[in-house]
């Protein structure tokens, strides 16, 4: 900006020092406010908790399904689906079945993913999926601790089923659900872990998605990288090569850190939310073969 003086001779406009100080102070205050908001509402960012009524399995054509209700240690009521083992090719059910405990992503709930869950249920394998606290039809508030409490309750309920062999419980986690899966694998006996689009931890995700904020303000842990180092059972890991939300590099670090046998399956050209459609029946059959 210039100011003309006298006979039109332009002279540079000099900002008053007070104005410069005010602008600088305003920017600093705005950044501090953003830091405070990020500190206060980071769980809401990680756990958007979409609500939806729990569908009745029989009304949507899932004959082997039933609605179940669990109560966490803190009294929170959870809603979920239990899918009884389906029969094999010979038509005979297994007297003692393997089971798959399913943990979905942060923007999902049972109402939105039940068609995928039923399609991915392996033959002769039981399946349990619960809405996290604050999600779907469950009560409570969505938090990291609440998700882990729900995982404990779901594992106990699944292991107590008379038709389930507790030595053959597998866990499946997608995106945010990978944190619940690795938590379960380090706190309960599991036969195998399936991870889809796993991230390393909350601090790394914050650095990737919110680079203007220092990672020291991150209160969440969600430490997949730390927990996978304690996992000794087989791990099947899927990751899209075009995933921009959770970079492939994070999945590679998880695979490299696992202490047990690992199979890494790259979903070519898949972004974060296209894995089921991109992977198709090959993805499903990999899950089936791993659980069997």
Pairwise CA distance, residues 286 & 290, whole Å: 6
Pairwise CA distance, residues 80 & 55, whole Å: 9
Residue 2 has pLDDT above 50, yes or no: no
Cβ(180)–Cβ(223) under 8 Å? no
Q: How many CB atoms lie within 10 A of CB 56?
A: 12
What pLDDT does residue 12 have?
73
pLDDT digits (tens, 9 = 90+) for 124-158: 999 999 999 999 999 999 999 999 999 999 999 99
Transcribe 88-120 into DSSP letters. -TTSPPPSSEEEEEEE--TT--HHHHHHHHHHH
pLDDT category, 71, cuts 50, 70, 90?
very high
pLDDT digits (tens, 9 = 90+) for 82-121: 999 987 555 555 668 999 999 999 999 999 999 999 999 9
Q: What percent of the chain has pLDDT over 90?
A: 75
C-alpha dihedral (144, 235, 174, 255), degrees to nearest 10: 80
Cβ(155)–Cβ(169) under 8 Å? yes
Higher pLDDT: 216 or 54? It is 54
């Amino acid at each position: 900006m210039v100011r003309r003086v006298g006979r039109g001779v332009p002279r540079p406009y000099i900002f008053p020092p007070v104005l410069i100080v005010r602008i600088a102070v305003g920017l600093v205050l705005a950044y501090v406010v953003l830091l405070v908001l990020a500190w206060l509402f980071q769980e809401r960012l990680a756990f958007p908790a979409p609500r939806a009524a729990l569908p009745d399995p029989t009304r949507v054509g899932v004959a082997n399904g039933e609605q179940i209700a669990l109560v966490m240690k803190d009294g929170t009521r959870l809603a979920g689906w239990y899918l009884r083992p389906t029969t094999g090719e010979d038509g005979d059910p297994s007297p003692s079945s393997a089971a798959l405990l399913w943990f979905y992503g942060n923007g999902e709930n049972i109402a939105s993913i039940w068609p995928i869950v039923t399609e991915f249920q392996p033959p002769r394998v039981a399946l349990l999926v619960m809405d996290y606290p604050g999600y779907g039809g469950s009560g409570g508030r969505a938090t990291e601790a609440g998700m882990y409490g729900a995982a404990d309750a779901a594992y106990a309920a699944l292991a107590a089923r008379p038709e389930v062999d507790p030595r053959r419980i597998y866990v499946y986690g997608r995106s945010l659900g990978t944190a619940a899966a690795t938590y379960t694998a380090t706190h309960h006996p599991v036969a195998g872990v399936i991870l889809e689009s796993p991230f390393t931890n909350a601090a790394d995700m914050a650095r990737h998605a919110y680079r203007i904020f220092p990672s020291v303000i991150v209160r969440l842990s969600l430490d997949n990288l730390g927990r996978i180092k304690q996992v000794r059972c087989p791990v099947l890991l899927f990751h899209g090569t075009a995933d921009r939300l959770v970079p492939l590099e994070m999945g590679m670090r998880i695979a490299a850190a696992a202490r047990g046998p690992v199979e890494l399956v790259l979903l070519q050209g898949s972004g974060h939310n296209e894995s089921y459609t991109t992977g198709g029946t090959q993805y499903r059959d990999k899950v089936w073969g791993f659980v069997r």
